[in-house]
Chain A
């Protein structure tokens, strides 16, 4: 009972944070040329690694539902128009939590080299799936699909290499699984949302590959950093720098 009540409340609270970040636009971190990196999926990831895949899925549901409602009631751009469709806004977000949790559990016992190989493998599997889907729904030239799949695998592989970079930098294996889970969750968000946009032909596939890389990769990195910092502060995990920097 104790666990259950806590899970319910944490889910509610993380959902509120996601809504808050979206509604006040604090969750939009400006990037280049007017584009922004979003962090509304980070509460989903944190909920998943702290309380499990079901809680992660629930918070993902809240995130998705809110982006749908916001798109409908207070639209400010083309993305809002697309998000009114639940297959674009809700279904991909349901998957963020469970994937992040899986990545979290999975990476706890692995070494970096293995992560690299596995993510490459996951990248290929995801690419194949997307290619098959596109054959069914797209009917476009397959070279264009290949561009997208290349984009996704780049995101997967490159983001893991970034991870390796800060693994070196931080030298702390406790935070590593959190960073990996965040990258997995963020990439899931990017990949699935973009895929659904592609299936509905809202964006041409060529563009999707570019967006996945230019937007998806940095988004994954900042999601990882934010997740790691929050979890470290909340759980009192010490980092490699075992003292104040003063």
Chain B
């Protein structure tokens, strides 16, 4: 029950109670007066007269009071409603936009101010985390460059014994993986701090999808996975060509990696409700429903045992999500255990997205 409803009911109760008090008071007064005037059968008459007065005067007054009460609470709580509407729009990315204030210094204005201050502090904390990630990934690059370079130098040494060579080669593989993680982290940290500008241009999506389809077929070949392009309508969107290709390859690579051998990958590009809809489905082990909301989280691994066998940096879907949202699009994933997994992205057709992520 809303506060407004509750206040109105209380108010109605009080009005009815006061009406009762007025009724009793009026009855006593009339009764007294009649006794004084030595009339007969004063009681029944007094009741009739009182109820007549109460109904004719009191009831309209109560109704008027109720309407007034409704209006009053509505007025008093209006700013709260506005505050609520504004506050529901708050998320991690727009903490810097303060809630609108009336500046009249009343209690609600004070509350808004406190709220805005809290948001600003929260935004500061978020920024500090993002900056920390960015600095951390930058700091990691120099030692990583050295490690990689020196391992490669060691591998070039012809006199290296086979066992040592094996070890160095394995180290180099891990260093490559580490480099990809750091690259992914840097990209996301930059996106978080708004440091990436997308190069927006009209992009023929069908061409990117066909290219991606060809690449996916190649990637899938080894595991005997069949790739199918169910539909590929001609659609042009405004976007960053490189990022969109990265997005598509990312999704295709995932669909192949998290698949069963002799499995299937189906992709399609269609025009749906004024958006470009690209969907890609695979026949993998599926994702349990309780894990679905978290698959876009950074470094989220659905099944720790499975992640050992699949080579990936754990940031692919987070990056995909960022690319889609930077294009003002939506991404969703549908799956269930042992059911096909479908990732669907929708990019706006007409609207020209903003350049900043």
Do the two chains belong together in a single complex? no
Q: Chain B: residues with CB nearer than 8 A to chain A?
A: none
Q: Chain A: residues with CB nearer than 8 A to chain B?
A: none
